[in-house]
């Protein structure tokens, strides 16, 4: 059975992992006959957003504690992730991917990755193990894989330009499609960067999960 590490960035589209993307990812991993283990950094979120009003709220929350809501408590600190224990890696999106796993949401082309996210991402890249990034998470791809890597966030011009500035070869992609960089065993899909419904998000996510597992 293939084992997939899934990195979550909290719980909720505006400050953490996009819940639908995360759950659909876990569902399709299981449907494909593989297993998963969820991870998240044990850190404070950049901020906590009231998802009803869109306003910041206090007190702030912990990324690992919040992500445990999605994982039903079955989650480990990202610092514990050992690449040798897994065949592949998948990173769902949500603004938390750009706020908690890195600071792309704040710093754009000057972004840096959380130390454990960088370690883990590079470990999978260096081991030539399959990885999938969805929604805004592909913003991290050039910081992990370097210049010329193929990736997509869909078709948002400003975000695509930022990825290009970071060194990626950005490929425009429909919501229900994926972009594969065969050399790096890397898959990306727009998901809720473009999706207008859970059905639209599901189409690309299912393809990404299947592609990652096939490359394992």
Give the Cα separation of 107 and 112 in Å (integer): 8
163-184 in b/e form (b: 16+ CB < 10 A) is beebebebbebebbbbbbbeeb
90-104 in b/e form (b: 16+ CB < 10 A) is bbbbbbbbbbbbbbb
Q: Is 17 helix (H, G, I), strand (E, B) or coil?
A: coil
Q: Tally helices (H) and strands (E) across the chain.
A: 8, 11
Q: Which positions are catalytic?
A: 135
DSSP class of 46: S
Distance, first Cα to last Cα, the chain: 11
Give the Cα separation of 171 and 151 in Å (integer): 6
Q: Is 143 helix (H, G, I), strand (E, B) or coil?
A: helix
Query: How far is CA 17 from each of CA 26, 28, 91, 106, 169, rounded to the nearest angstrom?
Result: 13, 17, 9, 17, 25
Q: Report, in angstroms and rounded to the nearest whole number, the Rg of the chain calculated over CA atoms.
A: 15
């Amino acid at each position: 059975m293939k084992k997939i590490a899934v990195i979550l960035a909290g719980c909720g589209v505006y400050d953490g992992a996009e819940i639908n993307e995360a759950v659909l990812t876990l569902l399709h991993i299981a449907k494909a006959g593989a297993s998963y283990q969820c991870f998240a950094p044990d850190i404070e979120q950049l901020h906590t957003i009231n998802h009803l009003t869109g306003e910041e709220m206090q007190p702030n929350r912990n990324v690992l504690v919040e992500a445990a809501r999605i994982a039903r408590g079955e989650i480990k600190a990202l610092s514990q992730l050992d690449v040798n224990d897994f065949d592949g890696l998948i990173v769902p999106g949500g603004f938390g991917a750009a706020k908690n796993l890195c600071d792309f949401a704040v710093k754009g082309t000057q972004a840096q990755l959380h130390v454990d996210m960088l370690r883990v991402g590079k470990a999978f890249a260096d081991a030539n193990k399959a990885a999938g990034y969805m929604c805004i998470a592909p913003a991290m791809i050039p910081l992990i894989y370097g210049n010329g890597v193929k990736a997509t966030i869909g078709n948002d011009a400003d975000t695509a330009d930022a990825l290009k500035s970071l060194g990626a070869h950005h490929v425009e992609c429909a919501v229900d499609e994926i972009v594969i960089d065969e050399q790096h065993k890397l898959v990306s899909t727009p998901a809720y960067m473009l999706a207008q419904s859970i059905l639209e998000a599901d189409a690309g996510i299912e393809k990404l999960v299947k592609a990652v597992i096939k490359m394992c």
